[in-house]
Amino acid sequence: MSIQDLIAPINERLTPTERRIAELVLKDPTLLAFGTVSDLADRANTSRPSIVRFATKLGFEGYTDLQSWIREQLSVQLSSPSQRIRQQESSTPPVWAAIEEAIHQSFDALTQERLIALATPIAQARNVWILSGETSMAGAYVLHSGLSMIRPDVRLVVEHSTGRELSSASEGDTAVVFDFARYRRNSITTSRALAELDVNIVAITDGPLSPLAALTKNWCELKIPAVGPFDSSIPSVMAAEMLVAQVVNQLGEEARHRIDRLESMWQATDTFLNYTPRPSREI
Amino acid sequence: MSIQDLIAPINERLTPTERRIAELVLKDPTLLAFGTVSDLADRANTSRPSIVRFATKLGFEGYTDLQSWIREQLSVQLSSPSQRIRQQESSTPPVWAAIEEAIHQSFDALTQERLIALATPIAQARNVWILSGETSMAGAYVLHSGLSMIRPDVRLVVEHSTGRELSSASEGDTAVVFDFARYRRNSITTSRALAELDVNIVAITDGPLSPLAALTKNWCELKIPAVGPFDSSIPSVMAAEMLVAQVVNQLGEEARHRIDRLESMWQATDTFLNYTPRPSREI
DNA sequence: TTGATAGTGTACGCCGCGTTACAAAGCGGA
DNA sequence: TCCGCTTTGTAACGCGGCGTACACTATCAA
């Protein structure tokens, strides 16, 4: 039971001021443990009674009650073995390490030059086709979703309609293919066919021995860790996101203009619950 | 610098009473952090001035001074490892740091207990419905893909057919919702409706202030970094994958059996290019 | 025995704490 | 426009906090 679990069930009943207080104490719980009512009031730009009311709204008698509760929680956290475990880095579960390593390697693989090399054919293509194997579906999905927001004529090709969809592909187009061992037969054969048609191939795959790496010089290598019995999609997704960001850079004003139009479309259709302009937009 | 290091050099100059106080605070440092002079005096069977004198003997102005020092020490100890990591590497590109921090925080949020709490309703549900906002589509996709391989009756609900798809949802079902600020109106209102129908809600969201966190106690908090102009899907995907792995654990033999059948189906249809059995299967 | 000194507890003052009652301001509906 | 409710801030109160001055006790040397 944490302060988060206490706030969550009542978060919709919080007044604006109380919400400010909630954000404050969530950001820095030590404020609650050590701070006085006045401290919190000052930090949240409000008055002391509002702090007390916040405490009662959480179900406590008053601030004192809330604070002593927090202190108890903190005491067990300080004395419990998990805290000591937390400080030792050696005991992290192996999955964590595998994911982190994979991410690091992907970062290393996606240098600035490599990103530019991969993004350029995407930015300049007339049509962009996206293909993928199994592990990498999520990456393909993210790429499709992201690219669609910044340029026209982007299509995610699903296996059962490969032929129909790709019949119009030709020189000047670019196909982005995600696939890793074991390679999906369909994605590989399709890529080969597209390469024959002089379609630019951009391949996200697992190394120079991949059949995809043979098709193009625009490829990059990702390491795929396992999470439980399945392979992780995280590296693919990361690569897709970085590709999208790079294409945005290269398209410049045109991409930004499209994003702005999408934004106003969202506003017009009232898509989001609490619309507040933010520097970072959603995919 | 700890309280031990402060006491050690003067321990021979301590009077009997002061020695009792020293033993007390060494045994339980939270007493110093949270307790008042009176508390300590009572516990050490002495008077309040002795506590104050003890503080001054350690080189502080008074008890207040000592206490605020202890609290500072405690604060850094409580700050999460991810925050300390942030302070180290300043030379890496900001995107990397942001992604790594988000991943660390997600790891912290997805403790074993939390994972079990989230996975149990998924493992036991009659039907599983998956909903998502914008950023988190990829996570929802991965969850759907993974769960489909290990249990029946898993459905990804897309916005335009929400009503039709969910008309059969009822008690005993579980809905997994991914959404983050700005919350997509459709996913939130749908979740609320499902909660009204006593469908179990499992929420992957951005904190206790999320409207989703108000609906259920089975929620977890992810931090969403920005990659270029868009929010990243990586945390959602990671959470989805860890959820799938946990559900596999809980379903045990049944899940493994299903995976094996899928495997032979793949073999039969010759889906992959180079079939070689591997310990880790693809999603 | 007596005086000085170190150790400790009592008594007191002042400040700031948390709390509550009440008034002002903001917001929506009639 | 007015009325009611919700939200928020102001003012006052009483309690307990810490710190300090002072008094008592014990110890030891002379």
For B281, which residue in chain A has the nearest alpha carbon? Answer: A230
For A88, which residue in chain B has the nearest alpha carbon? Answer: B81
CB-CB neighbors (< 8 A) of B230 in chain A: 146, 149, 241, 244-245, 280-283
The pLDDT of residue B86: 46
Between positions 195 and 224 of A, the ones with CB within 8 A of B are 211
How far apart are alpha carbons A110 and B243 in whole angstroms?
28
Angle between helices A94-109 and B234-251 (to 10 degrees): 150
Asked whether B75 and A30 are in contact (CB, 8 A), the reply is yes
Nearest residue to A202 (alpha-carbon basis) of A216, A187, A190 = A216
- Ordered by where they begin, the domains of chain A are 3-87 (1.10.10.10), 95-268 (3.40.50.10490)
The pLDDT of residue A80: 57
Q: pLDDT tens digits for B35-54? A: 999 989 988 889 899 999 99
- Residue among B100, B184, B274 whose CB faces A183 most closely: B274
In whole angstroms, C3 C1' to B42 CA is 34
Residue found under tokens 């006045």: A38
The neighbour count for residue A160, using CB atoms within 10 Å, is 8
Handedness of CA B180, B181, B182, B187 (dihedral sign): positive
Bases of chain D with protein Cβ within 7 A? 6-11, 16-21
A248 contact B CB<8A: yes
> Residue A129 forms beta bridges with which residues?
A155, A175
Local structure of residue B151 (DSSP, 8 states):
S
Torsion on CA atoms B63, B67, B70, B74, rounded to nearest 10: 170
Nearest residue to B129 (alpha-carbon basis) of B29, B58, B43, B203 = B203
How far apart are alpha carbons A47 and A63 in whole angstroms?
13
How far apart are alpha carbons B88 and A143 in whole angstroms?
32
For B240-245, what is the mean pLDDT?
94
Lowest mean pLDDT among A35-49, A138-152, B8-22, B124-138: B8-22
Handedness of CA B78, B79, B85, B89 (dihedral sign): negative
Low-confidence ranges of chain A (pLDDT < 50): 84-91, 275-283
- The DSSP line for A87-104 is H-STTS-HHHHHHHHHHH
Local structure of residue A161 (DSSP, 8 states):
G
In whole angstroms, C9 C1' to A49 CA is 39
A282 CA to chain B: closest CA distance, Å? 5
A22 CA to chain B: closest CA distance, Å? 8
> How many percent of chain A have pLDDT more than 70?
90
CB-CB neighbors (< 8 A) of B72 in chain A: none
B226 CA to chain A: closest CA distance, Å? 6
Can you list the alpha helix ranges (DSSP code H) found in B110-233?
112-124, 137-150, 162-166, 185-196
SS3 A221: strand
CB-CB neighbors (< 8 A) of B133 in chain A: 282
How far apart are alpha carbons A46 and B260 in whole angstroms?
60
Amino acid at A2: S
In whole angstroms, D4 C1' to B136 CA is 43
Contact A244 B221 (CB under 8 A): no
**Strands A200-205 vs A219-221: parallel, antiparallel or unpaired:** parallel
Interface test with B, best of A84, A234, A259, A263 (most B CBs within 10 A): A234
Q: pLDDT tens digits for A79-97? A: 655 554 444 444 456 777 8
B57 CA to chain A: closest CA distance, Å? 24
How far apart are alpha carbons A170 and A174 in whole angstroms?
9
State both tokens at A267.
């506003």
Handedness of CA A75, A79, A80, A85 (dihedral sign): positive
For B240-261, what is the mean pLDDT?
91
Q: pLDDT tens digits for B62-96? A: 899 999 999 988 888 776 554 444 444 445 566 77
For B18-44, what is the mean pLDDT?
89
Residue B24 scores a pLDDT above 50? yes
Please state whether strand D lies within 7 Å of residue B100 at its CB atom.
no
Higher pLDDT, A263 or B178: B178
B71 contact A CB<8A: yes
Query: With left for phi above 0 and alpha for psi between -120 and 50, is residue B235 left, alpha or beta?
Result: alpha
Handedness of CA A50, A53, A55, A57 (dihedral sign): negative
Between positions 153 and 182 of B, the ones with CB within 8 A of A are 180-182
CB-to-strand C contacts below 7 angstroms = A 36-39, 48-49, 52, 55, 61-65, 67; B 15-18, 45-50, 53
Q: pLDDT tens digits for B267-279? A: 777 676 764 444 4
How many separate helices (H) and strands (E) can be counted in chain B? 14, 7
Torsion on CA atoms B175, B179, B182, B184, rounded to nearest 10: -40
- The DSSP line for B7-30 is HGGGGGG--HHHHHHHHHHHH-HH
User: Which letter, b or e, does each residue of A104-128 get, where b requires 16 or more Cβ atoms within 10 Å of its Cβ?
Assistant: ebbbebbeeebbebbbbbbbebebb
For B98-107, what is the mean pLDDT?
86
User: Which residues of chain B (20-79) touch nucleic strand D at CB < 7 A?
Assistant: 36-39, 48-49, 52, 55, 61-65, 67
